[in-house]
Amino acid sequence: MIRIGLVGCGHIGTVHAVALQQLTDAGLVDARLTATFDDDPGRAAKVARHQGGEPYDTLGGLLDEVDAVWVCTWTAAHLAAVEAAADRGLPIFCEKPLAPDLDTATSVAAALERVPHQVGLVLRWAPVFRNLADAVASGEYGRVLAAVMRDDQYFPVQGLYGSTWRGDERLAGGGTVIEHSIHDVDVLRWTLGDPVEVSARTASRFGYPGIEDTAAATFAFADGSVAQLTSVWHQVLSRESSRRLEVFCEKALLWTDDDYLGPLHVETDDGERLIESEPPGWSSSFTLPAVYAKALAQYAEPSKAFLDSLSRVETRAGPQASAVGHPRAADALSAHRLVDLVYRSAADGGAPKSVR
Ligand SMILES: NC(=O)c1ccc[n+]([C@@H]2O[C@H](COP(=O)([O-])OP(=O)(O)OC[C@H]3O[C@@H](n4cnc5c(N)ncnc54)[C@H](O)[C@@H]3O)[C@@H](O)[C@H]2O)c1
């Protein structure tokens, strides 16, 4: 059995802990949450009490007693936890963004590459985006002409998130682009490939220096296609997190306004068809109301896949590390490079920046 240590027991750490608990209790993984650690000991104790495991006073104490680590601290603390776990050869699931800035993200990625790892760019596992990526890659609808992604949520220092660190540039690295839309940048480059040029405008309107709440970015591709990203943190507290993506191909418009199950709408000359998706069948064995089970499956599926792949490898580090986990540090680092260019362009009045 794989003993899992959770480092960072806040919002997403708790979501992962519940997902892991449900997977374990349903007999779906050969793993169990056995240890928790948080700078705030009360949080580590609370997760341990409700989702299982023993709370530890130190990171080192936890790392001594586990076989794999989930790093769910706020963004600026990922590097220290990832390096400490990688030094011990432990497999690591690391939340996104890797770090507040590109240089530090490069260091986090380098440490992750030394061990089996996976990054929490969870949209890679969303059936609606998998269907979209497959449809675009099939070539059935011709070349991509343009894509429009809109991502919005309420300014997340309140409500469900209630996290003061998201208003602190040193801890978060920025606002809506790095903290939320790094997911979107990842989906865009996964679906459309890497752009050759990035230009962007950002604004901070709510009094948090360095934390942009409004951003518009344009990604230009070598074949002449373009993608636009509008990313907003507003004060509409009833809108927790919402995404809409439209991809215009030569012979179809593909779009969705749900970032997990879709449906994906495909409109062609023949009319509109819907590609529907279901959560994994095994999530029906979760002991949660159906609406929560569905939401949790979004996080449980990538965790289960990572744990299943860990069960199959014999060594914890070394050459086999490169075969385990999806998406990987390299994917995240590529998204970080584009996010960095968004910020560089915005700081330069929207001037285009080349992707090297
Ligand atoms: N993939 C996703 O969908 C998703 C969703 C939400 C958050 N996230 C990411 O997860 C991370 C955490 O976000 P959150 O919403 O859970 O924040 P949070 O504030 O709710 O929790 C962060 C926790 O980290 C703890 N912490 C800080 N420094 C620490 C350290 N050095 N050692 C141990 N614990 C430490 C804090 O005490 C806090 O409990 C961020 O990087 C965020 O971007 C990802």
Please write the tens of the pLDDT for every residue from 34-80: 999 999 999 999 999 999 999 999 999 999 999 999 999 999 999 99
In this predicted model, what pLDDT tens digit does every residue of 253-311 receive, in sequence order? 999 999 999 999 999 999 999 999 999 999 999 999 888 888 899 999 999 999 999 98
Rounded-to-integer distance, Cα 349 and Cα 351, Å: 6
Q: Is the pLDDT of residue 237 over 90?
A: yes
Give me the chain's average pLDDT, please: 95
CB-based contact 255:150 (threshold 8 Å): no
Q: Is the peptide bond before 263 cis (omega within 30 degrees of 0)?
A: yes
Q: How high is the pLDDT of residue 161?
A: 86
What residue type is assigned to position 174 of the chain? G
- What pLDDT, on a 0 to 100 scale, did the predictor assign at position 290? 83
* pLDDT score of 1: 94
The DSSP line for 105-144 is HHHHHHHHHTS-EEE--GGGG-HHHHHHHHHHHH-TT--E
Is residue 192 a contact partner of residue 163, using CB atoms and an 8 Å limit?
no
pLDDT higher than 90, residue 316: no
For ligand 1, mutation pick of 6, 7, 9, 11 (most atoms within 8 Å of CB): 11
What's the gap in Å between 43 CA and the centre of ligand 1? 11
Instruction: Give the Å distance between the CA of 187 and the centre of ligand 1.
Output: 22
pLDDT-derived band at 162, boundaries 50, 70, 90: confident
C-beta neighbour count of 302 within 10 angstroms = 23
| Whether the Cβ atoms of residue 335 and residue 182 lie closer than 8 Å to each other | yes
Does residue 257 contact residue 248 with C-beta atoms inside 8 Å? no
Would you say residue 12 has pLDDT above 80? yes
pLDDT of residue 320: 60
Q: Which helix (H) or strand (E) holds 332?
A: helix 329-347
- Which residues are CB-contacts of 312 (< 8 A; sequence separation ≥ 6)? none
Q: What does the alpha-carbon distance between residue 48 and residue 32 come to, in Å, rounded to a whole number?
A: 12
User: Tens of pLDDT along 196-222?
Assistant: 999 999 999 999 999 999 999 999 999
Q: What residues are in contact with ligand 1 under a 6 Å CB criterion?
A: 7-13, 37-40, 43, 72-75, 77, 95-97, 120, 122, 161, 163, 165, 179
Taking the CA of residue 14 as reference, the ligand 1 atom at the shortest distance is: 16
pLDDT at 317 over 70: no
> Phi first, then psi: what are they for 228, rounded to 5°?
-120, 135
Radius of gyration of the chain (CA): 20
Measured from the Cα of 13, ligand 1's closest atom is 16
pLDDT of residue 157: 93
* Domains of the chain, CATH where assigned: 2-123+284-324 (3.40.50.720), 124-279+336-354 (3.30.360.10)
Report which protein residue has its CA nearest ligand 1's atom 3.
Answer: 122
* pLDDT for position 295: 87
Instruction: State residue 315's pLDDT score.
Output: 52
Against a cut of 0.95, is the pTM above it? yes
